[in-house]
Homo-oligomer: A and B are copies of this chain.
Amino acid sequence: MKVKVGINGYGTIGKRVAWAVNKQDDMEIVGVTKTRPSYESSTAIREGLPLYAAHNEDTDNFEKAGVKVQGTLNDLLPKVDVMVDCTPGGVGEKYKILYDKVGVKSIFQGGEGHALTGVSFNALANFHEAWGASSARVVSCNTTGLVRTLFPLQQTFGIQKVFASLIRRGADPADKKGSALNAIEPSLKLPTHHGPDVKTVMHGLDIQTMAVMTPTTLMHLHCIVVDLKEKAGEKEVLDLWDSSPRVRLVSGKDGVKNTGQIMELAKDLGRPRGDMMDIAVWKDGVKMVDSTLYYYQAVHQESDVVPENIDCIRAMMKLEQDNLASIERTDRAIGLR
């Protein structure tokens, strides 16, 4: 029997996770919630996903808009094994009380703090930490991106120290709110939260981060400096990433020079919604000086955590013991391999 999954918050991340769950053979969506009617709630209905209003008081709005809902979050909860909370950052906390009350397992996104669940998750780095857990947090898009390339380096060469500058997108493509239209804005509070967040998954790593926000919508870009414990050749590093899951090497020489062109490549690859769930690393932007490695990578903020949510469900529901086996299963089902 398939694991029953609910999505609280059918938005940017929620609709992608819903799609990915229904592509797997060991889990299925039994309901998604939305606070108000919109083209996204129509999408849920078109996709055949049972739609619920988040709260009782939202039901009226749906009715007025002629959108039929199956009930509210409270009606959905008893039907699910795991609830994937995709509500806006900081909101998940209050919902957790509800989930816990009904005894439903819950997964949160990177907008919540580590303390909420005590378990922060990345499929490659610490799959086992979510094993059977009643709740866990899939780390943010940026943290996921950093772990995907740093963890293999740590396993293979050892890491002394990491510094990363995060050049963040100012808003998602369909967002109305965003950064200043024509300015760069630094995250003045140092260290930024990204470094500590990586450590919730790669415990004990020495990492510092700085971050700026820029007026673009497509992807985050990281400038990363890693002092390796063991010297390595550039080719060795590239080969390592080439065989690491959810990392994709791209090349300026092939015309993939910027984040716009990575998004175009994702469309060319036939990826659903044009998503690039892999972390893109520039082959020709890698440089080793002594044992210090410099590289650039790009992170698709809307989608890279999607497969992580699937693996996290598997770990929490004890569906698969081996993380690489889960990763492969997930990725095959959604067309990443």
B260 contacts A174, C-beta separation under 8 Å: yes
A258 contacts B185, C-beta separation under 8 Å: yes
Residues of B within 8 A of A190 (CB): 285-287, 294
Residues of B within 8 A of A184 (CB): 167, 169, 214, 216, 218-219, 221, 258-259, 298
* Known contacts A173-B263, A260-B174, A294-B190; A182/B185 CB under 8 A: no
Which of A175, A260, A267 counts the most chain B CB atoms within 10 A? A260
Residues of chain A whose beta carbon lies under 8 Å from any beta carbon of chain B: 15, 37-40, 42-43, 46, 163, 165, 167, 169-171, 173-186, 188-191, 208, 210, 212-219, 221, 223, 225, 250, 252, 254-261, 263-265, 267-270, 272-274, 282, 284-287, 289, 292, 294, 296, 298
* Known contacts A173-B264, A261-B39, A268-B40; A212/B221 CB under 8 A: yes
A181 contacts B185, C-beta separation under 8 Å: no
A322 to chain B, nearest CB (A): 30
| Contacting residue for A38 out of B210, B255, B285, CB 8 A | B255
Residues of B within 8 A of A176 (CB): 179-180, 257-258
Residues of B within 8 A of A282 (CB): 186, 188
A279 to chain B, nearest CB (A): 14
| Contacting residue for A181 out of B171, B274, B287, B289, CB 8 A | B171
A180 contacts B171, C-beta separation under 8 Å: yes
Residues of B within 8 A of A285 (CB): 186, 188, 190
A182 contacts B177, C-beta separation under 8 Å: no
Q: Can you list 25 pairs linking A and B with CB atoms under 8 Å apart?
A: A38-B255, A40-B255, A43-B268, A165-B210, A167-B167, A169-B184, A173-B182, A174-B264, A175-B260, A176-B179, A177-B177, A178-B178, A181-B216, A182-B182, A182-B217, A182-B218, A183-B261, A186-B282, A190-B286, A191-B294, A208-B289, A210-B296, A212-B296, A215-B216, A267-B273
Q: Considering the chains assembled together, what is the distance between the CA atoms of A284 and B67 in angstroms?
A: 19
| Contacting residue for A260 out of B165, B173, B268, B298, CB 8 A | B173
Q: Considering the chains assembled together, what is the distance between the CA atoms of A55 and B130 in angstroms?
A: 53
Residues of B within 8 A of A210 (CB): 165, 223, 225, 294, 296
13 further A-B contacts with Cβ under 8 Å, apart from A173-B263, A212-B296, are A167-B212, A173-B264, A174-B180, A176-B180, A183-B259, A185-B258, A186-B221, A190-B294, A191-B287, A214-B214, A215-B216, A270-B272, A274-B274
